[in-house]
Amino acid sequence: MGTERARGIFIALVLTAATLLAVLEVTAERRADPGPKRDTSWVSALRDVDEAIARGDMMSAAAARHEAYRAAVASRTWEGYLAAGDAALRLGEATRGRAAAAPDARKLYLAALFRARSQHSLDGVLQSTEAFNRLGDLDAVAQGLSIARDLAGPDPTAQARVRRAADRSTAHATTPDTHGDEDF
Tens of each residue's pLDDT in the chain, 184 residues: 677 777 767 666 555 655 655 555 655 555 554 443 433 478 888 899 999 999 999 999 999 888 888 888 888 899 999 999 999 999 888 888 888 889 999 999 999 999 999 999 999 999 999 999 999 999 999 999 999 999 999 999 999 999 999 998 887 765 554 444 444 4
Residues 54 and 88 in one domain: yes
Given this model, what pLDDT does residue 173 score?
Answer: 64
Q: Which of 56, 76, 107 represents a domain boundary (last residue)?
A: 107
Prediction pTM value:
0.70
Which ranges of 33-97 would DSSP assign to H, the alpha helix? 42-55, 58-75, 78-94
- 90 found inside a domain: yes
- Rounded Cα distance between 43 and 84, Å, is 9
Residues 143 and 93 in one domain: no
Residues 17 and 72 in one domain: yes
Q: Is the distance from CB of 47 to CB of 55 less than 8 angstroms?
A: no
- 11 found inside a domain: yes
Closest of 86, 96, 6 to residue 56, by C-alpha: 96
Residues 100 and 124 in one domain: no
Distant-in-sequence, close-in-space partners of 151: CB < 8 Å, separation ≥ 6: 117, 120, 121, 122, 125, 158
- Rounded Cα distance between 149 and 144, Å, is 9
Residues 69 and 138 in one domain: no
Residues 124 and 101 in one domain: no
Residues 140 and 54 in one domain: no
**Where does residue 117 rank: exposed (0-12), middle (13-18), buried (19+ CB within 10 A)?**
buried
Q: Which of 80, 107, 134 represents a domain boundary (last residue)?
A: 107
Residues 103 and 134 in one domain: no
**Side chain identity at residue 50, one-letter code:** D
Range of the domain at 102: 1-30+40-107
- 35 found inside a domain: no
